[in-house]
């Protein structure tokens, strides 16, 4: 019988994610005004920028997710102008905040993504599938990872995460 892996502590909380917007730019010229509106440059693929008040995360080539209570939607839409489009999507998401050193281990269960890789460090994002559910991950710190989960599948996945977390 193997010894259990080192005991890890994890706290899991779920939150409304109604603030999340999908920002698509089909024109690179839109990056500068958007950066001005957000207060920081849009991050490259697989990375995030900003903080809890206003954050942008890039999961796809031309699409960023923008979140945070500090996002001025009108200003953002104005900055995007004809360079792209902004569409609210947060009604369909649940934000799960994983706190504690055990979040990496937790995400390896029922998953296919290398969350244990040290290169998946704060500021990194990833879109993956966990327990058949499409999940977007954002590493906020070494002890915190946020996950955006489709609302319809959140109950099952969060329940499974709680079950796994209890055994870590």
**Cβ at position 8, least distance to other proteins in Å:** 14
Q: Which helix (H) or strand (E) holds 65?
A: strand 63-67
User: Does the protein bind other proteins through residue 14 (CB under 8 A)?
Assistant: no
Q: Could you tell me the smallest distance in angstroms from the CB atom of residue 110 to other proteins?
A: 5
Q: In the set 33, 111, 123, 144, which binds other proteins (CB under 8 A)?
A: 111
Residue for token pair 């905040």: 97
Q: What angle do CA 63, 64, 69 make, to 5 degrees?
A: 150
CA–CA dist 25, 38 (Å, integer): 14
**Of residues 46-85, which lie at the interface with other proteins (CB under 8 A)?**
82, 84-85
**Shortest gap between Cβ of 74 and other proteins (angstroms)?**
15
Q: Order the strands of the 84-88 sheet from edge to edge.
A: 48-50, 55-58, 63-67, 21-25, 84-88
Q: Which spans of this chain sit near other proteins (rule: CB under 8 A)?
A: 1-2, 16, 18, 22, 24, 26-27, 82, 84-85, 87-93, 108-114, 116-117, 131-133, 150-153, 155-157, 160, 163-164, 166-167
């Amino acid at each position: 019988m193997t010894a259990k892996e080192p005991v890890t502590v994890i706290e899991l909380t779920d939150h409304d994610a109604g603030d999340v917007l999908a920002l698509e730019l089909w024109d690179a010229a839109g990056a500068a005004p958007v950066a001005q509106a957000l207060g920081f440059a849009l991050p490259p693929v697989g990375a995030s920028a900003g903080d809890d008040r206003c954050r942008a995360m890039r999961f796809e080539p031309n699409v960023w997710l923008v979140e945070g209570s500090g996002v001025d939607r009108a200003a953002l839409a104005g900055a995007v102008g004809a360079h792209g489009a902004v569409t609210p999507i947060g009604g369909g998401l649940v934000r799960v905040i994983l706190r504690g050193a055990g979040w990496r281990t937790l995400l390896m269960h029922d998953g296919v993504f290398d969350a244990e890789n040290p290169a998946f460090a704060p500021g990194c994002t990833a879109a993956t599938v966990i327990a058949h559910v499409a999940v977007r991950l954002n590493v906020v710190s070494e002890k915190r990872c946020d996950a955006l989960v489709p609302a319809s599948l959140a109950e099952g996945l969060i329940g499974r995460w709680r079950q796994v977390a209890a055994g870590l």
